[in-house]
Amino acid sequence: MINAGFSPIVATMKSDTRNRILVASLLLFNENGEPNTTTNEIADEVDISPGNLHYHFRKKTDIVTALLAEFQADARRLLQPPDAEQTSLDDFWIFLHLLLETTAAYRFLLRDMESLSVAYPKVGNSLKHFARGLTAMFELRLRALAASGVLQIGDDETRIVSRNLAVIALFSERFDALVDASATADDSALRIAGLVLNVLKPYVAGASASHLAELAAHYKL
């Protein structure tokens, strides 16, 4: 999970056996990958018998389906349009943190995207909708920043930058794993935050430039 101000979503789950199974599954999937995690390993992590796990989830597919439903609920909350037409850099920064909290909490979905989409078609459909929704949300928030006078950016650039920000947010961790095997999930999350903020630098207007630079300085690239 992400540190440095990113609160783990799993902390909000209840402590009953079913949810303890989901929490343990999520942690193991994130650490080892869903294909490399067995139900017996999940039962050991929860300290219950395989039969007790089977009582709650008959097969691993049911666990993935339940976690996907949790992801979809968190994604819907994340992708709610902002209340105001105008916004601030701090509002965007908070949204960015919530986004990275969400993608970190369910990072196995993005890391194992291809294999999961084959084994669980609903995963592929959900991630497709999430990617589209995230791109649209970035575009909406960039337009709101432009309306507030924070950014100076045209419509065509807004669409391109929004797509680029979505790609950075969703796939940078996989790139980091490819080029730097020692990079942790926390390292990647902090790097993503810095990358997203730095992409906005050429478009920041006036006094907002120093504030953006201050925010970006907290993250290593």
Does the predicted TM-score (pTM) go above 0.75?
yes
What is the structure's pLDDT at 192?
Answer: 93
Reported as a pLDDT band with limits 50, 70 and 90, residue 122 is very high
Instruction: Give which of 210, 209, 187, 26 is closest to 105, Cα–Cα.
Output: 26
Q: Are 117 and 131 in contact (CB under 8 A)?
A: no
What mean pLDDT value characterizes the chain?
89
Kindly tell me if the per-residue pLDDT of 34 is higher than 50.
yes
Nearest by Cα to 156 from 143, 171, 170: 143
Q: Could you give the percent of the chain with pLDDT greater than 90?
A: 74
Query: Residue 154: is its pLDDT beyond 70?
Result: yes
Q: Answer whether residue 219 shows pLDDT above 90.
A: no
pLDDT category of residue 181 using cuts at 50, 70 and 90: low
Mean pLDDT to the nearest integer, 151-180: 92
What is the structure's pLDDT at 10? 53
> Which pLDDT score is estimated for 7?
40
- CA atoms of 52 and 104, how far apart (whole Å): 29
Q: Is the dihedral of CA 34, 37, 43, 45 positive or negative?
A: negative
- Section 11-40 average pLDDT: 87
Domains and CATH numbers, the chain: 68-216 (1.10.357.10)
Average pLDDT of span 24-34: 95
Whether pLDDT at 136 is above 50: yes
What whole-number distance in Å separates Cα of residue 24 and Cα of residue 148?
43
CA–CA dist 145, 149 (Å, integer): 6
DSSP state of 51: H
Q: For 71-84, how does the pLDDT look when each residue is reduced to its tens digit (9 = 90+)?
A: 999 999 999 987 77
pLDDT digits (tens, 9 = 90+) for 46-97: 999 999 999 999 999 999 999 999 999 999 999 998 777 778 999 999 999 9
Of these ranges, 11-15, 75-79, 111-115, 206-210, the one predicted with the greatest mean pLDDT is 75-79
What is the arithmetic mean of pLDDT over 165-183? 86
Residue 22 pLDDT class (50, 70, 90 cuts):
very high
